[in-house]
């Protein structure tokens, strides 16, 4: 089987913005920021609460670009069978150390397939896939539709996808990703919008943040 970190049935996997630009060996401000919030007992479960609403009980949930595993862990606590997928080895190690109950598949999202997940002992289809915390704006340029298509191929028939990102002026090294481009990529991936909100508390859509619930067409 090919190495899911570097290649897939869809062809070579280009390095994403995170691995090209964000230092992971000496810790990242993202990881340190959330680890600090966790230590201080702050609420960081907004994404997980909404994903939980979308999911049947004891659902199969894939957390794509899971980082330190905070969303995965919050979903596991709610009784779901969660699979975290993360490519950055430092974040994989942090996730496994802090949340050992969360299985992490070390892979690029583009390297995922039912066969890869089965080989990892994880479900091959998911009730909910979360792509939250700005993952979309750290993908390799021009891989947005391919990424969404790869994930759409892992949805169960009634499955849904929760995607959240800042479309403009995001964190360092991310890219601007206007909602119009996202809409085009969603359609190219064979997905449709069920809802578009502006926050995980379901405030109306604004230009500041995208919270989208997607389903297969
Ligand atoms: C800002 S962090 C957010 C992490 C996590 N979703 C959270 O909300 O805590 C962005 C993450 O996207 C991941 N990422 C970006 N492109 C990726 C790809 N193509 N495959 C896997 N992970 C990716 C990075 O490795 C990083 O962990």
Tens-level pLDDT at each residue, the chain (217 residues): 345 456 677 789 999 999 998 865 555 689 999 999 999 999 999 999 999 999 999 999 999 999 999 999 999 999 999 999 999 999 999 999 999 999 999 999 999 999 999 999 999 999 999 999 999 999 999 999 999 999 999 999 999 999 999 999 999 999 999 999 999 999 999 999 999 999 999 999 999 999 999 999 9
pLDDT at residue 11, rounded to an integer: 85
C-beta of 66 in contact with ligand 1 (< 6 A): yes
State the closest ligand 1 atom to the C-alpha of 174, by its place in the atom list counted from 1: 1
Measured CA to CA, the distance from residue 115 to residue 122 in angstroms comes to 10
pLDDT at residue 8, rounded to an integer: 76
What are 146's two structure tokens? Answer: 């391919």
C-beta of 69 in contact with ligand 1 (< 6 A): no
C-beta of 138 in contact with ligand 1 (< 6 A): yes
Alpha carbon of 41 to ligand 1 centroid (Å): 23
Contact 92, 104 (CB under 8 A): yes
Query: What one-character DSSP code corresponds to residue 136?
Result: G
Q: How many CA atoms lie within 13 A of 50 on its CB side?
A: 24
pLDDT at residue 1, rounded to an integer: 39
State the closest ligand 1 atom to the C-alpha of 47, by its place in the atom list counted from 1: 8
pLDDT at residue 28, rounded to an integer: 67
By CB atoms closer than 10 A (0-12, 13-18, 19+), residue 23 is exposed
C-beta of 133 in contact with ligand 1 (< 6 A): yes
Alpha carbon of 193 to ligand 1 centroid (Å): 22
Measured CA to CA, the distance from residue 17 to residue 19 in angstroms comes to 6
pLDDT at residue 7, rounded to an integer: 67
pLDDT at residue 192, rounded to an integer: 98
Q: Where are the beta strands (DSSP E) in the chain?
A: 7-8, 11-12, 60-64, 81-86, 104-106, 126-131, 155-165, 191-197, 210-216
pTM: 0.95
pLDDT at residue 9, rounded to an integer: 73
Alpha carbon of 16 to ligand 1 centroid (Å): 9
């Amino acid at each position: 089987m090919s190495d899911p970190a570097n290649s897939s049935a869809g062809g070579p996997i280009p390095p994403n913005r995170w691995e090209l630009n964000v230092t992971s060996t000496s810790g990242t401000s993202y990881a340190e920021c959330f680890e600090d919030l966790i230590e201080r007992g702050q609420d960081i479960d907004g994404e997980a609460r909404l994903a939980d609403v979308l999911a049947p009980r004891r659902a199969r949930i894939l957390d794509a670009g899971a980082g330190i595993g905070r969303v995965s862990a919050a979903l596991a606590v709610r009784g779901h069978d969660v699979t975290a997928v993360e490519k950055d080895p430092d974040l994989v190690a942090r996730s496994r150390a802090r949340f050992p109950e969360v299985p992490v598949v070390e892979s690029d999202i583009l390297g995922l397939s039912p066969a890869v997940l089965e080989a990892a002992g994880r479900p091959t289809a998911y009730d909910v896939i979360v792509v939250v915390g700005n993952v979309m704006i750290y993908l390799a340029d021009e891989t947005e539709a391919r990424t969404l298509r790869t994930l759409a191929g892992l949805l169960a028939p009634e499955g849904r996808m929760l995607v959240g990102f800042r479309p403009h002026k995001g964190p360092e090294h991310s890219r601007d990703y206007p909602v119009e481009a996202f809409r085009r990529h969603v359609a190219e991936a064979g997905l449709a919008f069920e809802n578009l909100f502006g926050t995980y508390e379901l405030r109306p859509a604004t230009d500041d943040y995208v919270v989208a619930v997607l389903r297969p067409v």
